[in-house]
Amino acid sequence: MRNRWIRSLLSVFCVGTVVVVFVLPLFEFHYTRYINNDPLISPSVVVTIQGNIMRLEDGRSVILDTRSGVVNDLVSSLSNRVDLEIAQNGEDVTIFVDEQYAFCGDPFVMVRWLFPPYRIPLFPDDRPLNYRRSVGTGKLVEDADSTADNA
């Protein structure tokens, strides 16, 4: 009687070991879930970009060091919001915008259907949808009209 109990316990242990070692690696229980985030630290709204001068809603102006066409296209496509990182001297700024990560399709989708790992979506892995991208530099000025006329 005792021998039969030990034998059944050993067979349950062996079957469990086979399942854990050979069957469990065939399945993935995590899936990627993208969270819509705002990567800008202190966003400012851009009112206009004229030439190389970018005017912000809070009254500040930035004289752009980069080509204004590139910054103008990026800012207009991204709801006119920028993030300014001011250097220690108080004049030089780096301009950031929020941008979405680019996603491609899975070229191996048919292979994944035929061969493991099979996905069982139980546990989400949260990843950010947007990131903060540097698009240019410039100088922060109080009165951009007089500075642009002098330059």
Tens of pLDDT, residue by residue over 16-69, are 898 888 877 788 888 888 898 888 888 888 888 887 888 888 888 988 886 656
Which tokens belong to 101?
A: 């990560």
**Quick check: 14 pLDDT over 80?**
yes
The sign of the CA dihedral 139, 142, 145, 147 is negative
**Angle at the Cα of 52 from the Cα atoms of 62 and 39, rounded to 5 degrees:** 50
**What pTM was estimated for this model as a whole?**
0.67
Q: How far is CA 21 from CA 13, 14, 115, in A?
A: 12, 10, 17
Instruction: Pick 6 or 67 by higher pLDDT.
Output: 6
**Quick check: 99 pLDDT over 70?**
yes
Mean pLDDT of 80-100: 87
Instruction: Pick 111 or 138 by higher pLDDT.
Output: 138
* Mean pLDDT, rounded, of the chain: 80
Residue 81 has what pLDDT? 86
Residue 126 confidence class, pLDDT cut points 50, 70, 90: very high
Q: How far is CA 115 from CA 32, 104, 106, 136, 139, in A?
A: 20, 21, 15, 46, 56
